[in-house]
Each structure stands twice: as structure tokens, then as C-alpha cells.
A = this chain, B = another copy of it.
């Protein structure tokens, strides 16, 4: 089942999937907010791929939350399209991460959207907390020089 979580290649994470009925709306294209679901799935797959599944983090009372996000929708996609999210780590601090996440159409590699998202780690009291050392080390391995 290796395919379920995408793959890391040259410090980028690639995550492929097909657009489903439930992702589209009456306009005939994917509902805009679904792009945020798509990039979240990709981020979660990346962090799982690094050895830190979200459910394990939750057991340690660690949760990763979205602090802020900027997104541009550049092209639409629709039912049946195969698309992929390319995720790059941009910045890695002690308690937060910045990721750049592009969505592309697989068919013609056209860029569909660009997202920059800041994540932050919270403890069980919902207070910002340090990223575990082992995860930080893994994350550093995919940081560009």
C-alpha cells in the first residue's frame, strides 16, 4: 500500500489522487474549499512518510494545526481528473513549519493552485509546543539548503 501516502523525491513530496464526485459542485468544477482538504491530505501523508503518523502524534497529545494560509486558485479541475500536490518545506522553526504546496493537473502538468501554509504544534492544553526532536530532524532532511 505504499502508494497511499505519495512519495518524497528531491526534497519534494508528491501526492496523486483522482477528483471525485463529492469534490465537485454545481459549477461543474471542484469546490474551492476542497483544495484545502487536498493539501491537508498531502501534508499529512508527508509527515506520515517521515515516520510520524498523525494518530501517533495525537496519542502523545500533540496536534498540528493550521495557523495561517494564503491560497491562489489559478486553474480549475473536474470529475475524473488525476491531480497531484507537490509539497515543499520552506521553513522549520522550533514550534512551527511553513510549507509551499502546489497542485498540478497530471495530464498536462498545468498548475492549479499555490498555497503557503503555516502550521503550529499544540500540546493537550492547546498551547504552542516544540516539535519533537526526531521529527525536527526528519523535517530538516527535506529542507532546501
- A residues with a Cβ closer than 8 A to B are 1, 3-5, 16-18, 20-22, 24-29, 31-34, 36-37, 40-41, 44-45, 48, 53-55, 58, 63, 65-73, 76, 78-80, 82, 106, 126
Residues of the B chain whose Cβ atoms lie less than 8 Å from the Cβ of A66: 32, 73
Residues of the B chain whose Cβ atoms lie less than 8 Å from the Cβ of A28: 26
Interface of A is mostly: mixed
With A22-B25, A33-B40 already in contact, the answer to whether A80 and B16 are too (CB < 8 A) is no
Residues of the B chain whose Cβ atoms lie less than 8 Å from the Cβ of A29: 26
A40 near B25: Cβ-Cβ < 8 Å: no
- Shortest Cβ distance from residue A33 to the other chain B in the assembled complex, whole angstroms: 4
Residue of B nearest to A113 (CB): B68
A73 near B82: Cβ-Cβ < 8 Å: no
